[in-house]
Amino acid sequence: MSNPLRVGLIGAGRIAHSHMTAYLDHPDRVQLVAVCDIVEPAAQAYAKEAAVDVVYTDYEKMLREVDLDAVDICSSHDQHWPQTLAAAAAGKHALVEKSMAHNLPACREMLEAADNAGVTLMVAQNQRYTVETAAVKRFIDEGNLGDIQAVRTHAIMAAVPINPRGHWMNDGNAGGGVLLTNTIHHVDLLRYYIGNVKRVTGICKSVQPEMVNGAEDLVAATLEFENGAVGDVFGSWTTSLVPEGQYYMVVGSKGTLHSTPPTRGRPGVGHFGTTMYALKSPVEAGQRRGPRAEFQPLPVEDAGLPTENGVVNEILHFEECCRTGAEPISGGRDNLETMKVIAGIQESSRTGRAIDLDTL
């Protein structure tokens, strides 16, 4: 007989609807038993769609009154901190949407609370759970690219039509801004592929009038990884004319790979298309270089993931970690390191100095 993880959802907005697929398709693993949103009609509408009877507008009341194993936190960044602390105090596991929180001290407190309570804390870095990412991770880990020397990523979004004036994603007080909302996806992915970052420099700017309370809509940063690789990061939140939305490249001593633009209509929240790779050709005797290598698609079969949907895979991974006690692939301890990169970029922009992340 199945014994699914009993989950209460907090924040029934956009990303919560992507999470719903896991609850509808895998009731034997994860059972949504309550829905909470401060906006009651949003909670009611979500609950109806997810066939859930129990609705709250106060998450603390939900934690007191409902028999839950875990919460799925899909609220604004500033809310992740108090909601995770409340969940840990109630002995519940927590899946927290990225970004882990709005700042580094909050993340440290969340981690400590989860450790003390003996519950799982996982950050929903959904891009780590796609079949493409699994294929790239394996390809790099097998040494096919050799020593990784450089990475670069850009994420250029037209968020204004998506987020109207006054939306929390444009408000620094709520943890908004491009760094925490979007750039963090790609920084996290690069960390997943090649390891931790040692030092950063960065410039953040708040240019468009809809960005308030210090929320930046432009960021340019350089990263120095612990393995010696250099990284180049660019993020824009308010560019209305976008040639190519989101992109990354990994350059190694033996070859290079890069993403192509997103494939529309893929299940889940997909941000990249096909991964292309090329390996350096062997150099023949008497030649200065090998023949030019052509880029070709990286096969993604046999990713070893339960579904094609990265968000569903992430939620099933969370269930497995809660059940077994295993540390999640994107656990709070791991994602503190991603948050340090973001905090370092902000600190560098503020001070005009390079920031060693072990000082944060």
Residue number with CB closer to ligand NAD (183 or 275): 183
Whether residue 121 contacts residue 353, with contact meaning beta carbons closer than 8 Å, is answered with no
Of the ranges 10-18, 112-120, 233-241, 341-349, which one interacts with ligand NAD (CB under 6 A)?
A: 10-18
Whether residue 309 contacts residue 265, with contact meaning beta carbons closer than 8 Å, is answered with no
Of the ranges 4-12, 138-146, 244-252, 328-336, which one interacts with ligand NAD (CB under 6 A)?
A: 4-12
3, 14, 27, 291: residue in contact with ligand NAD (rule CB under 6 A): 14
313 binding ligand NAD? (CB under 6 A): no
Q: What residues have CB less than 8 Å from 219, skipping those under 6 apart?
A: 178, 179, 183, 202, 203, 204, 205, 233, 234, 235, 236, 345, 349
Give the distance from CA 230 to its chain's centroid: 21
What amino acid is encoded at 163 in this protein?
A: N
5-10: strand order across its sheet = 55-56, 30-36, 5-10, 70-73, 93-97, 121-124
Site string for ligand NAD, 160-189 (x = CB under 6 A): ---------------------x--------
**What is the smallest separation between the CB atom of 271 and ligand NAD, expressed in angstroms?**
7
Site string for ligand NAD, 107-146 (x = CB under 6 A): -----------------x-x--------------------
CA distance 215 to 357: 22
Of the ranges 1-9, 34-42, 216-224, 318-326, which one interacts with ligand NAD (CB under 6 A)?
A: 34-42
Q: Are strands 148-156 and 121-124 parallel, antiparallel or unpaired?
A: unpaired
64 binding ligand NAD? (CB under 6 A): no
258 binding ligand NAD? (CB under 6 A): no
269 binding ligand NAD? (CB under 6 A): yes
The β-bridge partners of 72 are 9, 95
59, 192, 225, 272: residue in contact with ligand NAD (rule CB under 6 A): 59
Give the distance from CA 197 to its chain's centroid: 16
Q: Count CA atoms within 13 Å of residue 338 on its CB side.
A: 33
CA distance 180 to 146: 31
10 binding ligand NAD? (CB under 6 A): yes
Of the ranges 47-55, 73-81, 140-148, 208-216, which one interacts with ligand NAD (CB under 6 A)?
A: 73-81
32, 74, 88, 100: residue in contact with ligand NAD (rule CB under 6 A): 74
Whether residue 225 contacts residue 243, with contact meaning beta carbons closer than 8 Å, is answered with no
Residue number with CB closer to ligand NAD (43 or 229): 43
Write out the residues near ligand NAD by the rule CB under 6 A: 10-16, 36-39, 42, 59, 74-77, 79, 97-98, 124, 126, 181, 269
